[in-house]
Amino acid sequence: MLRKISTHQLRAGMYIERFEGSWLQHPFWRGSFLVRHDDELRSIRDSGIGEVWIDLRKGLAPLEEPAPQAEPAGGPPLQQAGAVDGATPGAPRVEFGEEVLQARRIYDGSRPMLRSMFEQARLGRAIDAAGAAELVEQISESVRRNPWALLSVARLKLADEYTYMHSAAVCALMIALSMQMGLDEEQTRDAGMAGMLHDVGKALVPAAIINKPGRLNASELDAVRTHPQRGFELLRRMGGVAAAALDVCLNHHEKMDGSGYPNRLPADRISRVARMGAVCDVYDAITSNRPYKTAWDPAGALRRMAGWSGSHFDDQVFQHFVKSVGIYPIGSVVRLESGVLGVVVEQASDSLLAPKVRVMLDAATRARLSPRTVDLGAPASHDRIVSVEDPFQWGLAQPGEYL
């Protein structure tokens, strides 16, 4: 039996079935779990969430019984919208530090294949579908072993290799998002292949336009906007390409408000996988250094994207995406309550608000500190993130530097 209560009524031993309130304040990866200790209670209350749904069959009841509130038809709000209860990219099978080495080998090894894929596309030839499928499988296995290792490594790409390495990054993001949404193995594999192939049409746009360091003029912008259609036609001529990959290739620049391209599709004609592709494509694009712009920091990028959700992105897909990369993604510069600044270096397995942070700077004096890693999710930790900071303002990064 589910019951909605105030977070002030929460106590250890209660089983939280679902959070109420803003998804951006949601403090835990899991949507459902047993509250075990006071640190979890403090995190929930500090998040600003006012109410939660508890399951009386799995945990304790409130000490003061309020008048029963019926569960909404179809389940709590996120469930009504089709969200998968409590889904995450999967509990890490191996430690981040261990998997990041393997992820780096996969990512570095993908360069020749991706470079060749774009070269074959540029010549109008069939791409190496078997090689692409093998790479998707390697990326998928890495993400399953640890959801964040390859996503971290994918930020290493240089501006001049963005066009093709963007494909590997979006593949990994699509797989992580699919896992978070609870898609089955075949759907996840198809989504990964869609991410791998989504931008193949850019190989058919003149490199001078793709790599132009300044703002594109109207005719150049029109040329870039042909890449979804041209890529779609190339993949369709090849044959044997999954429908999801064709769909995402053609429609990853369509928007929920109908203002996208190439066909200005209304929301009801944009598939789920194309909506997923739109989010993953934009996130990697704006967090990557390009010939004409410096990358946005990951956490700042999510907050800007949140402002576009509903008009540009599907809101439910975007909520899932944030849970797959974290409110404070790896590479984000954050200020802690204790007055120090650091870089998020690893996600926690169960908390959106408690990653591991590599402390580097005293915010008050700007003095460099001996680097140390703080695990905000550790039971003994009493520190927390209070803000996201601009890395360039604090001298913690230079344009093109990977944090």
Q: Which uninterrupted H or E stretch holds 19? A: strand 15-19
Within the chain, which residues score under 70 in pLDDT? 21-32, 64-91, 159, 397-403
pLDDT (0 to 100) of residue 66: 40
| Token pair 């790896």 in the structure block, residue | 330
3-state secondary structure at position 345: strand
**Cα angle 256-260-266, degrees, rounded to a multiple of 5:** 45
- Report the pLDDT value the prediction gives residue 120, as an integer from 0 to 100: 94
What fold is seen in the domain 96-325? Hypothetical protein af1432 (1.10.3210)
| SS3 label, residue 251 | helix
Collapsed DSSP state (helix, strand, coil) of residue 183? coil
pLDDT of the residue at 248: 98
Q: Which of 68, 199, 186, 45 is nearest to 122 (CA)?
A: 199
pLDDT at residue 86, as a whole number: 36
Contact 235, 227 (CB under 8 A): no
Instruction: Report the Cα–Cα distance between both ends of the chain, in Å, rounded.
Output: 46
* C-alpha torsion sign, points 267, 293, 234, 245: negative
Q: Where in the chain is the domain with CATH 1.10.3210.10?
A: 96-325
By the 10 Å C-beta count (0-12 exposed, 13-18 middle, 19+ buried), 243 is classed as exposed
- Asked if 156 and 402 touch (Cβ cutoff 8 Å), the reply is yes
Tokens 């075990």 found at: 36
**Other CB atoms within 10 Å distance of the CB of residue 233:** 15
Helix H or strand E encompassing 371: strand 368-375
Element (H or E) spanning 240, and its range? none
**Cα–Cα distance measured from residue 198 to residue 358, given in angstroms and rounded to the nearest whole number:** 34
Say if CB 189 and CB 136 are below 8 A apart.
yes
